[in-house]
Structure 1
Amino acid sequence: MNTMITGTDLLTVGYQQNEILGIALQLANSNFLELSTQETIALFKKVKAYPENFLDDEILGSMATAMIEAANAPKDETIPLNEKAKDYVVYGAEHIEQGAKNQMDIAMKLPVTVAGALMPDAHQGYGLPIGGVLATKNAIIPYGVGVDIGCRMALSVFDIPAEHFEMNRAKYQRELIAHTKFGAGHGFHGQYKANHAVLDRSEFNLSPFVKHLQDKAWSQLGTSGGGNHFVEFGIIEFEQKDEILNIEKGKYVALLTHSGSRGFGATIAGHYTKLAKEKTKLPREAANLAYLDLNSQQGQEYWIAMNLAGDYASACHEVIHNKLTKAVGAQLLAKVENHHNFAWKEIWNGQEVVVHRKGATPAGKGVMGIIPGSMTAPGFLVRGKGDEGAINSASHGAGRQMSRTQAIKTITKNEMRDVLKDHGVTLIGAGKDEAPMAYKDINLVMESQKELVDVVAKFTPKLVRMADDGSRED
């Protein structure tokens, strides 16, 4: 006499915990009562092994059809996230919006994640939050680096005393306009194109895709793009002599620039993110964190292209600084620069990891960096303390407290003009989306990361140039 067939009975003969198991149990316990338990189990084992032989069976046909359809259905290749997010440190948590924390929580569930940290200027981004630092095991996330690969700061300190700037402000403004170019997609043409050794690098032959971008890279060499990129003259103050830079206490004229790899880097980011999404399928909420294994061909290609874009970004700053240093007749006392949209292979907690800093400044022990404020707020020349909890990182600026759309809607031109006047800043270009009020208080941000960096000097902007329409990179 047949007793009730259980799920365990069918699991032992090859069924799985899914919808078909439920169908099988319902059929077995309602249509085959005249068979012994062993006979019923044997029958359903046969259906599982050879469903095509039962397609025309009046009782088992529908289940056999479902089995064949399931076997031929596209395989779900989604890589599951870990159920629990790894712990990470948040600096200045009270200044950070929830959206950025939510994005970081998701990043900390990736199967390749080793460690993470959130900087005090963090705000919601695309994939990894801006201000997010993520260490992974042998994997690179294109959107963990960001669209503007190698976006960086560069500071030149000149042998010119501060008082010289105000006496010659018109000259500095004239030269700033003459030797810089802004705007998404904008570049130089013909005899105005700059040259640099980076354009001769063999990595441009990495693939037809990268080779095709070489001319665009050449035309945009030494330009600054749009968004929050800038070139500015200001006054930098050293309150005491810095022995490492060998700069005496005092106030000096300085040049500060912020920009990245232009259309070259943005196109690389888009291309390899698409490949990463095709290769590494993640749940919807984590889709923009798709990664490439560094042992794969595509992972190696992106790594080489990313490093080329980073060196290209550095070359763009070098061209701008060389032009303006020569134009104002200055001697260089010191130059400091750093990426803040990049990935590095580093040793963390005794193991090699890939550290993604998307809007974060490298701050290893003794490492110099620049953390800007806004067009009216001071920036800071800093030296890293090498905090492992922060994965040897610090903020990359003040960070936005207002979206671009919100800033455009709520800030008036008169308000922006008054703030600039109060701070003695001359602005060339920029839209309301870059208004100083759209940014967090840089002093609160610096207070939140005292354990991460030491301040070496303070930079005060005086003459700022940005894209005249607030355009973004293309």
Structure 2
Amino acid sequence: MIQYEVLKTENSLPVKMWTKGVPVEPEAKEQLLKTAQLPFIFSHIAVMPDVHVGKGSTIGSVIPTIGAIIPAAVGVDIGCGMMAVQTSLTANELPQNLAPLRLAIEKAVPNGLSPKGSSRDKGSWQNPPSIVEQYWQQLLPGFEKLTEKYPRFLNTNNYRHLGTLGTGNHFIEICLDENQMVWIMLHSGSRGIGNAIGEFFIKTAKQEMEKYFIDTYLPSKDLAYFVEGTEHFNDYLMAVNWAQEFARLNREAMMYNTINALRSVIDVPFETHLQAVNCHHNYVQKEHHFGHNVFITRKGAVSARKGELGIIPGSMGAKSFIVRGLGNEESFCSCSHGAGRVMSRTAAKKQFTVEDQIKATAHVECRKDANVIDEIPMAYKDIDAVMAAQNELVEIMHQLRQVVCVKG
């Protein structure tokens, strides 16, 4: 039984949507159909159940292209994704008071953002630890190649942002699975340097479109693209691949320091990495689908090849899932990257109060103040409905619930 709905206009390729039982804004559908009009889209666009309007491109979309890449579809949080590790700890080995554990994690992993004009960004390292230096050495040759051609990226948060959390919907959580086993789960990307790379190449693509008068033919100026074989295409691919590797190692470094924070609070010896997953959900890579080699851009979507493990987090205070891909080709072997927002951050702050946030996260040791209201669970879709809509894309391996949540 086919689970997806198909959107199509006279001028577009099909948009296949795994959204049965979940709300989709009309604006998101309009944004998707505009993307599907581009001449280099291959076969169709696949849409995940957490779909919602995004800046430049629709979040929760899988965009296959031949001969071109749209930088705004990859976005500015290049390589953003999830990492989860199962430990040998059980729920009854956690301390009754979880506040010291949250504080230890907040101390071990820089998070948040200092106001402009501050002497130092609290979300970056002042003296990076050895694990950060170790990972930076892996990244350094690529960074030197990138900055040799684009020295503008030298003056960014790069080395000092490696192994740091950031702000917004980025988080570190201690979770329990269905067997009361303890997991560590975190969410972050390529931080300041990834943002700088994304912003620069999005702007450059728009300038290229204007230079050759192509922008007037685009359904949206945000869909500006680079053509394969051109200098900017090659430079962007080099930069985006490096940023994706930065994001992967960023999560590895954060996980290392979070595990150490856990050990500093819990006296019980424990093992980690019994099961471990580290996956992007904002990225582009070349893959083989329907007999063709194509560039697959996942904007808020996770690779779900047959047997491949992935992570689908719920909202702050809701359950999350470790999943295994079913290799559904119609979705380009993809699944959702989370629950997906039903309202903007601004709307959430207007609609909800600190009291609402306290009530919604009563079972979680976390910040409960005005600065995290935009992450309140009610600002997101029902994660159970999202999972039901994609049951032909993934199977659930573990269901996790948060007991500690760190937000920047």
* Pair 1:272 & 2:201 matched: yes
CA positional deviation for 1:171: 4.2
Taking a change above 3 Å as real, the CA distance of residues 285 and 109 of structure 1, as seen in their structure-2 partners, is closer
Match of 1:205 in 2: 145
Distance 1:286 1:416 in 2: 37
Structure 1 counterpart of 2:220: 286
Give the Cα separation in 2 of the matches to 1:464 and 1:176: 10
Post-superposition shift, 1:170? Answer: 4.2
Q: Where does 1:233-382 land on structure 2 (aligned, <5 Å)?
A: 233-237=174-178, 250-280=179-209, 281-282=214-215, 283=217, 285-329=219-263, 330-332=270-272, 333-382=274-323
Q: 1:392 aligns with which of 319, 325, 333?
A: 333
1:231 & 1:425 partners in 2: Cα distance? Answer: 12
Partner of 2:30: 102
The CA deviation at 1:363 is: 0.9
Asked whether the equivalents of residues 204 and 210 of structure 1 are also in contact (C-alpha less than 8 Å), the reply is no
Q: Distance in 2 between matches of 1:225 and 1:409?
A: 23
Q: Which has the higher contact order (CA 8 A, sep 6+)?
A: 2
Match status 1:119 vs 2:54: no
1:88 to 4, 9, 15: 15
Following the alignment from structure 1 to structure 2, what is the Cα–Cα distance between the partners of residues 170 and 286? Answer: 47
Query: Unpaired segments of 5 or more residues in structure 2?
Result: 1-8, 114-120, 264-269
Summarize the Cα distance change of 1:305–1:428 in structure 2 as closer, same or farther, 3 Å threshold.
farther
* Paired letter, 1:188: W
* CA drift at 1:231: 0.9
Equivalence for 1:180: 109
- Number of residue pairs matched? 373
User: Which of the numbers 365, 370, 374 marks the counterpart of 1:433?
Assistant: 374
- Identity of counterpart residues, as a percentage? 34
Unmatched segments (≥5 aa) in structure 1: 1-81, 238-249, 468-474
Tell me by how many angstroms 1:212 deviates: 4.5
For 1:89, the aligned partner's letter is K
Provide the C-alpha distance between the structure 2 equivalents of 1:398 and 1:277, rounded to a whole number of angstroms: 31
Q: Retained in 1: the 8 A contact 2:128–2:160?
A: no
Q: What is residue 241 of structure 1 aligned with on the other side?
A: none
1:151 partnered with 2:80: yes
The CA distance in 2 between the partners of 1:251 and 1:204, in whole Å, is 46
- Secondary structure at the counterpart of residue 32 of structure 2: helix
Distance 1:203 1:139 in 2: 24
Instruction: Report the Cα distance in structure 2 between the residues aligned to 1:389 and 1:139, rounded to whole angstroms.
Output: 21
TM-score by length of 1: 0.75
Are the aligned partners of 2:25 and 2:52 in contact in 1 as well (CA < 8 Å)? yes
State the TM-score, normalized to the length of structure 2.
Answer: 0.87
1:190-220, Cα deviation, whole Å (9 max, x unpaired): 3558311333233432344655535621011
Q: Check whether the contact 2:322–2:398 (CA below 8 A) recurs between aligned residues.
A: yes
Q: 1:447 to 1:187 in 2, by over 3 A?
A: same
Q: Distance in 1 between matches of 2:377 and 2:388?
A: 19
Aligned to 1:35: none
When structure 1 is superposed on structure 2, of 374-383 and 284-293 the one drifting more is 284-293
Q: What letter corresponds to residue 96 of structure 1 in structure 2?
A: V
Whether the 8 Å contact between 1:131 and 1:360 is mirrored in structure 2 is yes
Name the aligned partner's letter for residue 33 of structure 2: D
- SS of the counterpart of 2:293? strand
Partner of residue 189, structure 1: 126
Root-mean-square deviation (CA), in Å?
Answer: 1.9
CA distance in 2, matches of 1:411, 1:326: 35
Contact 1:428 1:465 in 2 (8 A): no
User: How many Å apart are 1:131 and its aligned residue?
Assistant: 0.5
Partners of 1:376 and 1:425 within 8 A in 2: no
Partner of 1:60: none
Distance 2:26 2:384 in 1: 21
1:91-132: CA deviation from partner (whole Å, max 9, x where unpaired):
115521111111110100001111211111000012220001
Q: How does 1:410-449 map to 2 (within 5 A)?
A: 410-421=351-362, 423-427=363-367, 430-449=371-390
